[in-house]
Amino acid sequence: MRAVVLVGGFGTRLRPLTSSIPKPMLPVGHVPIIERLVANLARGGVVEVTLALGFKPEPFLEAFPDGHCAGVALHYAVEPEPLDTAGAIRFAADHAGIDDTFVVANGDVLTDLDVSAMVAFHRSRHAEATIHLIGVPDPSAFGVVALDADGRVERFIEKPAPGTAPSNLINAGTYVLEPSVLARIPVGQKVSIERATFPAIVADGGLFAMATDDYWLDTGRPEYYLEANIDIAAGRRRHDRCHPVHPDALVSPDAVITRSIVGPGATVAAGALVTDSVLLTGASVDTDAVVADSVVMGRVGAGAEVRHSVLGADGVVAPGEHVDGVKRPDPDAS
Ligand code: GDD
Ligand code: MG
């Protein structure tokens, strides 16, 4: 089985982290999101993945120089301009020569979904397209479906206004598609699978959906990116594990690290306290500083306090400074 993984978004909501690293290359438990995602596809029977890239393929080429990721052969389809989700799927599938049932995944989703079970479900329903669903308390930030008893999708609504969603079941960003879906997508045009293609397949009765209660997270916002890291450290994933403090991190024996991930090369000085946070490569936390509920790639000065914040590679909190809820450098400043 072949797959297309969508990795062409700009990662806007994860800035300033994504100013230096594309979203799918950000590590979760020391391993890039894309590698954890591809590993799960491989467990489900996927042997070849085409990355649908909108821009900047270089970080991927550098990370996977032999053209393999998690044991799977990787190909790159670089769009001349961002074509949105369906346009990107068409472009990548044409690039890879896909002409059989295939899998698509949003590149920012981490899940323990059994993809082979989803393919079996898809075949049992003779579906044209099948989407994975997860139940969430507030579905308004996602694609939402109404289903019949057989799993046939009756409505697909992308990001409904709060309070108007027909159910709590959301599009979890993994699809099984027949090649006939490709014929619905015009070549070289910006088309959204969520807003155009899925509603068209619903109208023809060919869209099905399989709900599961597997681990699932869209890492596309800082609070969820943080959660994805903490979850893996806490052993909440079915297959994935990691040592919270990487062996190549430089942590003083007089620092306290709780429920946090510390990446290779990150430094934590004596007396520092790090809780519920992620320190990425490049992070330094100086003497007696406090870091809580934050993601840090930059520098935290001695005695500083950083809470609910995101520091990119060039983000600095001065010695003794206290910050809460900041992003540095400010991604909205020009
Ligand atoms: N190649 C390419 N080109 N990829 C793109 C483009 C593009 O023009 N636009 C978006 N993508 C990729 C993103 O990188 C991401 O991996 C995926 O498509 C989905 O885009 P997001 O921007 O992350 O969308 P979302 O999270 O708001 O919503 C999507 O995911 C939800 C589940 O997490 C939708 O599919 C929702 O329906 C779904 O509920
Ligand atoms: Mg997303």
Look at residue 334 and tell me whether its pLDDT is greater than 70: no
CATH class of 250-328: mainly beta
Cα–Cα distance for residue pair 126/29, rounded to 1 Å: 38
* Domain positions in the chain: 2-230, 250-328
pLDDT tens digits for range 74-117: 999 999 999 999 999 999 999 999 999 999 999 999 999 999 99
pLDDT, mean of residues 279-300: 98
Q: Which atom of ligand 1 is nearest to the CA of 52?
A: 1
For residue 245, what is the DSSP state? Answer: B
Pocket test for ligand 1, best of 36, 50, 108 (most atoms within 8 A of CB): 108
Which residues have CB under 8 Å from 285's CB, separation 6+? 255, 266, 267, 268, 269, 272, 274, 279, 291, 296, 300
Q: Judge if the beta carbon of residue 218 lies within 6 A of ligand 1.
A: yes
Q: Judge if the beta carbon of residue 6 lies within 6 A of ligand 1.
A: yes
Amino acid letter, residue 209: A
User: Among candidates 128, 223, 108, 229, which has minimal Cα distance to 172?
Assistant: 108
pLDDT tens digits for range 9-24: 778 899 999 888 889 9
- Judged by average pLDDT, the poorest of 50-54, 206-210, 270-274 is 50-54
Domain covering 2-230, topology: Spore Coat Polysaccharide Biosynthesis Protein SpsA; Chain A (3.90.550)
Model pLDDT, residue 20: 84
Same fold, 2-230 and 250-328: no
Ligand 1 midpoint to CA 298 (Å): 27
Q: Which ligand is nearest to the CA of 110?
A: 1
